[in-house]
């Protein structure tokens, strides 16, 4: 299901994108209903010229804006919010999108009231985006981290699905989840979790992972990636290089994983390799220190040896690398909010998720590009990858418009509720 071309030439809210209690491989079934065959050809034909035409029309300021995906406040694109004004010096989500030329927005429960309201919100934000439609993301892992739980089918957690040993169920649940998100106007899910939860004291992953066996987790992750692809929604494997063996929550602290390179290859790497082979659209970094992979002491999110050397060059991933939420404590120990954003780009990240101070981060990245610290070629690589992901999801062909009627027919459908009950049994 490789839906990508090469691109070398491409809360303040208590819970963050990493989820948990704090802040945002070929899969062959071993039991139950067999998964449908993987798509062997892209859903659309993507040529470099399509992406390059859009890229060529963007100013440097617009290119920098494409990198950012903050959380905005309000239940419609025109909602006046003091929170938006205080944080972004713009009152409404629409104005923030225009002011910073945003490439994406992430939704949280505070953005959710009803299906019709969310459809209106996503349509309104897409209308405000101007030249390039938005990636609209959320963390809908199911189970513990389910940002759209008020509206969507309640599926079991990854650990419950993993316990069935049935990759067909993993694929079906991901497909159903993706269908419901797409009906709401969401086109990117920060799921599946690809961590191998081998530490029973892990305070942030736990049941969010498919289990503690690397090979089983790898098969489940690959199946989920294919399921999201079946639903035509972008998937994100997280948290690279592996957040499974931690006893510190990266929302508030900076975990250190002491695995050797050989242990990383055996324990942490298989699910990410499987996700890449399955055609995953994005990989999210972890705010963890992994000394045997990079002795600098910087978290993986800011590590060029890990994001570029390991994920890009060793594993061959050429899709979008997303940071975990940049307002989390684990990434803010050594640098200010502007420097964090710059270092993440220099490390190899393409999508800067939820910066703690968007104005400062945006200005810092823009200044780094203008000074040459971030080369224009490096900026274009990230923007090209982001535009390619958008093209793969059909966003560059036509700005997406969600339908309230379609959402009403898809959300919590009888078919999806039966699937949830079947997984739970």
Q: What is the rounded distance in angstroms from the CA atom of residue 285 to the CA atom of residue 66?
A: 18
**Total number of residues shown for the chain:** 425
β-pair type (145-146, 140-142): antiparallel
State how far Cα 361 lies from the chain centre: 19
Instruction: Give the residue from 362, 405, 374 showing the smallest Cα distance to 103.
Output: 362
β-pair type (234-240, 282-285): parallel
Q: Tokens at residue 216, please?
A: 């089983």
Give the DSSP letter of residue 134.
Answer: P
Strand (E) or helix (H) holding 170:
helix 167-184
Is 251 known to be catalytic?
A: yes
Which of the residues 251, 259, 287, 416 is marked catalytic? 251
Which of the residues 166, 268, 281, 324 is marked catalytic? 324
Is 213 known to be catalytic?
A: no
> What are the residues facing 282 on neighbouring strands?
236, 320
> What are the residues facing 136 on neighbouring strands?
105
Query: Which strands, in side-by-side order, build the sheet including 282-285?
Result: 104-106, 135-138, 188-189, 234-240, 282-285, 320-322
Q: List, by residue number, the catalytic residues.
A: 251, 324
């Amino acid at each position: 299901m490789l839906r990508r071309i090469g691109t070398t030439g491409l809360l303040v809210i208590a819970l963050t994108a990493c989820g948990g209690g704090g802040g945002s491989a070929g899969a062959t079934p071993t039991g139950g209903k067999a998964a449908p065959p993987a798509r062997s050809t892209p859903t659309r034909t993507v040529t470099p010229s399509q992406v390059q035409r859009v890229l060529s029309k963007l100013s440097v300021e617009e290119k920098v804006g494409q990198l950012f995906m903050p959380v905005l406040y309000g239940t419609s694109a025109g909602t006046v919010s003091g929170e938006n004004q205080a944080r972004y010096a713009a009152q409404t989500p629409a104005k923030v999108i225009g002011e910073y030329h945003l490439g994406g927005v992430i939704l949280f429960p505070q953005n959710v009231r009803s299906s019709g309201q969310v459809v209106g919100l996503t349509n309104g934000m897409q209308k405000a985006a101007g030249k390039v439609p938005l990636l609209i993301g959320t963390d809908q892992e199911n189970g513990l981290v389910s940002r759209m739980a008020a509206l969507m089918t309640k599926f079991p957690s990854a650990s419950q699905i993993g316990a069935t040993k049935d990759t067909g169920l993993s694929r079906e649940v991901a497909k159903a989840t993706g269908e419901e998100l797409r009906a709401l106007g969401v086109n990117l899910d920060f799921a599946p979790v690809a961590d191998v939860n081998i530490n029973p004291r892990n305070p942030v992953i736990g049941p969010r992972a498919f289990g503690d066996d690397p090979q089983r987790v790898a098969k489940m992750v690959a199946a989920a990636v294919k399921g999201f692809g079946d639903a035509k929604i972008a998937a994100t494997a997280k948290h690279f290089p592996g957040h499974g063996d931690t006893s510190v929550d990266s929302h508030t602290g900076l975990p250190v994983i002491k695995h050797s390179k050989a242990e990383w290859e055996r324990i942490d790497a298989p699910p990410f390799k499987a996700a890449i082979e399955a055609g995953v659209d994005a990989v999210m970094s972890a705010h963890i220190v992994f000394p045997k992979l990079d002795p600098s002491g910087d978290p993986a999110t800011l590590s060029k040896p890990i994001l570029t050397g390991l994920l890009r060059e060793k594993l061959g991933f050429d899709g979008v690398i997303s940071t975990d939420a940049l307002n989390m404590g684990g990434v803010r120990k050594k640098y200010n909010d502007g420097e964090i954003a710059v270092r993440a780009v220099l490390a190899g990240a393409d999508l800067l998720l939820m910066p703690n101070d968007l104005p400062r981060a945006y200005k810092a990245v823009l200044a780094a590009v203008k000074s040459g610290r971030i080369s224009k070629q490096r900026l274009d690589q990230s923007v090209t990858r982001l535009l390619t992901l958008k093209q793969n999801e059909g966003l560059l062909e036509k700005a997406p418009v969600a339908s309230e009627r379609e959402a009403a027919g898809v959300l919590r459908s009888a078919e999806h509720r039966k699937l949830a009950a079947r997984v739970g049994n």
